[in-house]
Amino acid sequence: MSAEREQEVLQMAERMQTKDTSTEVPVASFAYEILKAHPSVRDMGLRERMDFLLKRWNRLSKAQKLDYVNDPLRGLL
C-alpha cells in the first residue's frame, strides 16, 4: 500500500468515529456486514482492513450508501 493510500485509509478510519452523512465514509453497519461475510478480514491489520472496507464501500451506488447512512443500525439488531 502506498504512503498516500495509507494516509487516506487512516483519515477515513478517523472519520468513521464520527457521524458522517456525506456517504464518503462507510458506516458501522456496513463494516459489520463485511466482517460477517468475510471472516478473514478480522485477521488483517487496521490499514489493510480499512483499505478492504473502503474498496467495497466505493463499489456501492449512491442510493445503496444512503440506505446505510439513513438506517445506521441496519444489520446490527
Confidence (pLDDT) at 22: 80
Higher pLDDT, 35 or 17: 35
Cα dist from 53 to 4, 5, 17, whole Å: 17, 13, 15
User: Is 76 within a domain?
Assistant: no
Number of domains making up the chain: 1
User: Is 77 within a domain?
Assistant: no
- What mean pLDDT is predicted for residues 49-57? 92
Query: Alpha helix (H) ranges present in the chain?
Result: 3-16, 28-37, 46-59, 62-70
User: Is 75 within a domain?
Assistant: no
User: Is 41 within a domain?
Assistant: yes
User: Is 40 within a domain?
Assistant: yes
- Find the domain containing 52 and state its range: 3-17+24-70
User: Is 52 within a domain?
Assistant: yes
Confidence (pLDDT) at 68: 86
